[in-house]
A and B are shown apart, each in its own frame.
Chain A
């Protein structure tokens, strides 16, 4: 609790980044429509390439993984400033940058690192995450997609579901069962599967927001080289845990900043339309201000703690995710109140966000599962059955 200010170097970095953003953002092409997937891919990768060329890609990745080896604080500043400037969201690069990339950096061989990491940073390749299956969601280790060894290949068959960005991905971080006899956590392996391999079929699913954010993936005897396995055979669960801790660690930083902007905008609207005179609404917005302010501080706390312990995100991420997902849903409930009758107009700002926010307590581990994690891993309560 010593220092919430930023060092001179950090402030210089912030200023440099701000200047760069001010110059770079006007040059971006117009935003594609939500269902224009090729357009979205092009937009997101263009942005990533601009970051790369300017030296802002993979800031906190290790240097030998193509990153800058910067502190988590620098990454925090990066996420904060890009969001404040209204820069594009990480979008289709999400899994590669926040998930598969860090996992390959932590667990991959030198050859794997040099093959997969630079293209992620340069915005050349998009990854998706093939973890969930129709019969294995919260109980992820129950997954059934099978990989059978055939010479120097695995032959993979099964079905994945809820795969975000599958339509435009080049690679999939795929969890497969390599030993059906072993206890369920012990027979899993982590593979990098090329999405254009024969036998991969992607069928988009329509979300309640009307868009195609995710897809089903059918895998029919897909051949994946054994050299694409990250970590040992049947050790994929451990590798996965490394992945998930990254997802929950810093993945939501930019979004807290975005929520604070939305809240300010909501208040400004309420003032303009006279809704502000309603003390119940006013107090509700005031309370959300406290929530998001504290969530931002909690983020800084988690980053400081991670920095202390050598950059590994801790279980603080689950504490954060539980409250954040709840608060974000409450934010859009308040938005609906500010909008009044216009809350049923899909073209009004915040209405789509309200729909999207429904996924926050489900995706990346449901709130119920997060509570189990907090209770068992942090509080040390006994495991259930």
Chain B
């Protein structure tokens, strides 16, 4: 057993961090949030070229041939910088929807009712039901025309409410709704993890620099303890997300989503608190993290669904066998 990141994984992560800080730094992120411009096609293509979407496609099909653990590291980085766009859906559609793997197509997802993210920018819409179907081309344009734009809570995620139930037209037999939902939840959890880690850093940085009563506020225990709890939440979520990526286990993925949602939302709230009045301004980035975290919490797998899924596996087996074994594939 060696749960630590490999050298290759560390290199992959720092490569992605470098690309994103260069290409989607704070100024760029704020500009995107102000304009509500939607997906940046240039950046999308660059991500495609860097292998972000094709990461898990076999090399024979033009992919990078890596696995879910590596994807999780990339999505964590995306979450740190609040990278907008339907990253998860496009990543999951790579290999099944033309152009997705290369970052030429923007693919979003509809699962049940409720507003659809990034619909206006989409070249393809995955419709999850008993199977997975694609809606693209003219039918998709019809859907977009008939849909009503929603004033989105999150300035970086445009939302549309479709006029009625959306049906996919083209079956995508290579995709299963179960694994799509599981992986969608896990990759979203990875974004939440990135956001939770980032707001922890933001809080710590502010607490070191801001002085009140003649001392850095970070020397006050009330502030210190908020920060410590933020780290604990983020680290627990990290263990859950990374492990679920390694095992691919649906219950672990549900646990990862639950804990990462909580870490992202609560860390953003605590970060806001540590920033005081400044935290309540539009200027500070923390509200963007919080709004995105809220939005992600409601997608792919909600807390209620995750908890029910995690309860379902509990205690159903014979008590004498000791219940869940936690051996992690012994």
User: In the complex the two chains form, is A384's CB within 8 Å of B228's CB?
Assistant: no
Q: Which of B79-87, B98-106, B156-164, B253-261 contacts A (4 or more CB under 8 A)?
A: B253-261
A257 to B324, CA, bound (A): 9
Question: Per a CB cutoff under 8 Å, which of A300, A308, A381 touches B204?
Answer: A381
A residues near B255, Cβ cutoff 8 Å: 289-290, 293-294
B207 CB-CB contact with A under 8 Å:
yes
Residues of B21-60 contacting chain A, CB below 8 A: none
Residues of A286-316 contacting chain B, CB below 8 A: 286-287, 289-291, 293-298, 300-301, 303-305, 307-308, 316
B165 CB-CB contact with A under 8 Å:
no
A283-B311, A323-B236 as given contacts; A383 in contact with B4, CB under 8 Å: no
Question: Per a CB cutoff under 8 Å, which of B315, B319, B329 touches A6?
Answer: B329
Instruction: Name 11 A/B residue pairs within 8 A (Cβ), A-sorted.
Output: A1-B5, A5-B328, A6-B330, A80-B327, A263-B324, A267-B316, A268-B315, A303-B3, A307-B2, A374-B228, A381-B219
A304 to B225, CA, bound (A): 27
A308-B4, A319-B231 as given contacts; A286 in contact with B239, CB under 8 Å: no
Q: Which of A7-15, A19-27, A174-182 contacts B (4 or more CB under 8 A)?
A: A7-15
A238 CB-CB contact with B under 8 Å:
no
A4-B328, A293-B326, A323-B232 as given contacts; A286 in contact with B310, CB under 8 Å: yes
User: In the complex the two chains form, is B3's CB within 8 Å of A294's CB?
Assistant: no
A270 CB-CB contact with B under 8 Å:
yes
A residues near B6, Cβ cutoff 8 Å: 1-2
A260-B324, A286-B311, A289-B311 as given contacts; A1 in contact with B245, CB under 8 Å: yes
Contact with B along A77-97 (1 / 0, CB 8 A): 100100010100000000000
A residues near B310, Cβ cutoff 8 Å: 286-287, 289-290
B155 CB-CB contact with A under 8 Å:
no
A362 CB-CB contact with B under 8 Å:
no
Q: Is the interface of B mostly helix, strand, loop or mixed?
A: helix
10 further interface pairs, Cβ-Cβ under 8 Å (given A264-B322, A297-B328, A301-B3): A1-B73, A3-B246, A14-B330, A263-B324, A290-B307, A294-B237, A296-B326, A300-B1, A316-B235, A319-B232
B residues near A371, Cβ cutoff 8 Å: 221, 224-225, 228-229
Contact with B along A363-374 (1 / 0, CB 8 A): 000001011101
| CB-CB nearest in chain B for A326 | B232
B308 CB-CB contact with A under 8 Å:
yes
A residues near B243, Cβ cutoff 8 Å: 4, 293-294, 297, 300
User: In the complex the two chains form, is A300's CB within 8 Å of B3's CB?
Assistant: yes
In whole Å, how far is B202's beta carbon from the nearest beta carbon of chain A? 12
A261 CB-CB contact with B under 8 Å:
yes
Residues of A202-238 contacting chain B, CB below 8 A: none
User: In the complex the two chains form, is B224's CB within 8 Å of A283's CB?
Assistant: no
What 3 pairs between A and B have smallest CB-CB spacing?
A: A264-B323, A267-B315, A286-B311
A379 CB-CB contact with B under 8 Å:
yes
A271 CB-CB contact with B under 8 Å:
yes
Question: Per a CB cutoff under 8 Å, which of A10, A298, A308 touches B1?
Answer: A10
A residues near B2, Cβ cutoff 8 Å: 2-3, 304, 307
In whole Å, how far is A364's beta carbon from the nearest beta carbon of chain B? 16
B residues near A11, Cβ cutoff 8 Å: 330
User: In the complex the two chains form, is A283's CB within 8 Å of B308's CB?
Assistant: yes
Q: Is the interface of A mostly helix, strand, loop or mixed?
A: helix
How many pairs, one residue from A and one from B, have CB atoms within 8 Å of each other in the complex?
234
Contact with B along A261-275 (1 / 0, CB 8 A): 101111111110000
A380 to B231, CA, bound (A): 12
A303 to B325, CA, bound (A): 18
User: In the complex the two chains form, is A294's CB within 8 Å of B308's CB?
Assistant: no
A76 to B242, CA, bound (A): 19
A300 to B4, CA, bound (A): 9
User: In the complex the two chains form, is B315's CB within 8 Å of A4's CB?
Assistant: no
A147 CB-CB contact with B under 8 Å:
no
Question: Per a CB cutoff under 8 Å, which of B3, B251, B256, B258 touches A287?
Answer: B258
A residues near B215, Cβ cutoff 8 Å: 382
User: In the complex the two chains form, is B219's CB within 8 Å of A290's CB?
Assistant: no
B240 CB-CB contact with A under 8 Å:
yes
User: In the complex the two chains form, is A285's CB within 8 Å of B204's CB?
Assistant: no
B residues near A14, Cβ cutoff 8 Å: 327, 330
In whole Å, how far is B194's beta carbon from the nearest beta carbon of chain A? 15
B residues near A80, Cβ cutoff 8 Å: 326-327
A10-B1, A289-B255, A322-B232 as given contacts; A1 in contact with B311, CB under 8 Å: no
User: In the complex the two chains form, is B239's CB within 8 Å of A285's CB?
Assistant: no
A residues near B238, Cβ cutoff 8 Å: 301
B146 CB-CB contact with A under 8 Å:
no
A297-B242, A300-B3 as given contacts; A379 in contact with B227, CB under 8 Å: yes
B171 CB-CB contact with A under 8 Å:
no
Contact with A along B259-284 (1 / 0, CB 8 A): 10000000000000000000000000
B residues near A287, Cβ cutoff 8 Å: 258, 307, 310
User: In the complex the two chains form, is B9's CB within 8 Å of A267's CB?
Assistant: no
Residues of B197-237 contacting chain A, CB below 8 A: 200, 204, 207-208, 215-216, 218-221, 223-225, 227-229, 231-232, 235-237
